[in-house]
Amino acid sequence: MHAFANPTRFLRFARPATTWLLLIGPALAAVGILAGLTLTPPDYLQGETVRILYIHVPSAWLGMAGWMGIAAASISQLVWRHPLAAVAGRAAAPAGATFAAICLMTGSIWGRPTWGTWWEWDGRLTSMLILFFMYLGYIALASAERERGGEGRITAIYGLVGAINLPIIHYSVLWWRTLHQGESIGVTGSSIDNSILWPLPLTMIGFTCLFGAVVLMRIRAELAEAKVEARLRRMSR
Amino acid sequence: MNPWPFVAGAYSVAILLTAALILWAFASMRRAEAAADALTRE
């Protein structure tokens, strides 16, 4: 990671990586979505609504992965004072917030025909909603601290402390009696039949590539803005 | 209950929000990099 402490070296990697991620991501996501909508059979219990799985699961993963990235960037900033860490944390937040919102909305739409309700204040749904609000808080705090010319240390501490919500989201279906189904995809295997499951890795990887592209584009935008600000400051002296 | 309006609604939300996020990130990056390049050329 320290190899990318130099913005010029980082940009040498980021420019082609953005292009590749923007090419691979939509292609994989489109193939996965089309396969999920047309080639897989309906579920024996949920019927056709199971097809929401192919967008709901990637968005849930990316909503949580975004905050994992923020926590990693926060550690990198607080411990090693990596110059790009604060920028990376700020870049991950809008993408994480968007995917957390997609997760909540698609979950709500899935819940109506499956559970008979749009919303239920149970452990999984509530902890995911809290994650979304935490993203909004992070974006507001980072913006305020940046405007004041701060180093972003308070934002980094908030990002690190906020990571406590991630295991709560993950284990919520085990800790509390919940309407949300239990863990159906684990490290050792899945309770979902392969005939339904197979397009999911395509949408997972596709949306993850798009998430990566958005983060890289935000970092590039922030580096360019910083360059302009530094130049204008020098010119005004 | 017909499930297809729910499936279509969920996919519409996911695709529209993802597309909006990518377009916003791309536009802001292009704008910032163009401003930086213009200042370098001056």
- The complex's ipTM works out to 0.94
Q: Are A47 and B3 within 8 A, CB to CB?
A: yes
Identify the bridge partners of residue A190 per DSSP, sorted by sequence position. A185
Per residue in A94-125, pLDDT tens? Answer: 999 999 999 999 999 999 999 999 999 989 99
Q: Output phi, psi for A43, to 5 deg.
A: -75, 145
pLDDT at res. B42: 72
Instruction: Report residue A142 CA to chain centroid gap.
Output: 17
C-alpha pair distances (Å), B23 with each of A61, A210, A213, B18: 22, 11, 11, 9
Residues 6+ apart with CB under 8 A from A106: A52, A55, A56, A59, B10, B13, B14
> Is B13 in Cβ contact with A106 (below 8 Å)?
yes
C-alpha pair distances (Å), A177 with each of A55, A139, A163, A181, A206: 25, 32, 23, 10, 33
> Is A221 in Cβ contact with B14 (below 8 Å)?
no
Per residue in B1-42, pLDDT tens? Answer: 899 999 999 999 999 999 999 999 999 999 999 999 998 877
pLDDT at res. A162: 95
Cβ of residue A41 closer than 8 Å to a chain B Cβ: no
Q: Are A217 and A18 within 8 A, CB to CB?
A: yes
pLDDT at res. A3: 61
pLDDT at res. A173: 86
At which residue do the structure tokens 């919940």 appear?
Answer: A178
Look at residues B18, B12, B6, B27 and name the one whose alpha carbon lies nearest to residue A108: B6
Q: Are A142 and A218 within 8 A, CB to CB?
A: no
Look at residues A72, A36, A50, A57 and name the one whose alpha carbon lies nearest to residue A156: A72
Q: CA of A221, closest CA in chain B: separation in Å?
A: 4
Q: How many helices (H) and strands (E) does chain B have?
A: 1, 0
Task: Find the residue in A nearest to B30 (Cα).
Answer: A221
pLDDT at res. A2: 61
Scan residues 214-233 of A and list those with Cβ closer than 8 Å to B.
214, 217-218, 220-222, 224-225, 227-228, 231-232
pLDDT at res. A5: 67
pTM for the complete prediction?
0.93
Which residue positions in chain A have pLDDT lower than 70?
1-5
Contact list in A for residue B11 (CB cut-off 8 A) is: 33, 37, 52, 55
Residues 6+ apart with CB under 8 A from A50: A42, A43, A196
